[in-house]
């Protein structure tokens, strides 16, 4: 099974910026993907399997990976580890979204180069990380 996808509009001279979303609840993943897509970005997401998410990130080659910590934060961190340690994916910025304070603190300590934001700040943080106005 491939990741679900929603499409947005191109926002770069090189085509649409691409965001891969990892969220371990499909209905919530669809809602977040729709919010990100509303920024004019192309979004794919994985809501079931972190290992499959890592493989999909390799194939999709996104400009940014967003990982929600609101559901199964340990799975989100394991997925981030697979992405950040990969030869083809280690350069891709990671944004952790949502989660309780303990989950956010563990993500920050495990991935000091990643960015964390509250879910209500997802859109402006994505725009900032991708250099969009």
Determine which helix (DSSP H) or strand (DSSP E) holds 68, and give its type and residue range: strand 64-68
CATH of the domain at 81: 3.40.50.280
Q: Which two tokens stand for residue 22?
A: 């990892």
Q: What is the mean pLDDT of residues 5-16?
A: 48
Q: How confident is the model at residue 118 (pLDDT cuts 50, 70, 90)?
A: very high
pLDDT tens digit string along 56-115?
A: 999 999 999 999 999 999 999 999 999 999 999 999 999 999 999 999 999 999 999 999
What is the pTM (predicted TM-score) of this model?
0.89
Count of structural domains within the chain: 1
Domain of residue 63 covers 4-129
Q: How confident is the model at residue 16 (pLDDT cuts 50, 70, 90)?
A: confident
Closest CA to 96 of 85, 72, 5: 72
Predicted confidence at residue 133, as pLDDT, reads 81
Instruction: Count CA atoms within 13 Å of residue 20 on its CB side.
Output: 26
């Amino acid at each position: 099974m491939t990741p679900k996808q929603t499409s947005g509009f191109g926002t770069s001279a090189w085509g649409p910026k691409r965001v891969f979303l990892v969220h371990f609840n499909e209905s919530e993943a669809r809602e977040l993907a729709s919010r990100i897509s509303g920024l004019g970005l192309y979004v794919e997401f994985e809501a079931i399997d972190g290992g499959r998410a890592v493989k999909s990130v390799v194939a999709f080659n996104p400009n940014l990976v967003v990982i929600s910590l609101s559901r199964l934060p340990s799975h989100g961190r394991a997925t981030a580890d697979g992405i950040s340690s990969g030869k083809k994916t280690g350069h891709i910025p990671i944004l952790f979204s949502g989660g309780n304070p303990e989950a956010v603190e563990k993500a920050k300590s495990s991935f000091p180069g990643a960015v964390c934001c509250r879910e209500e700040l997802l859109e402006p943080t994505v725009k900032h990380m991708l250099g969009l106005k």
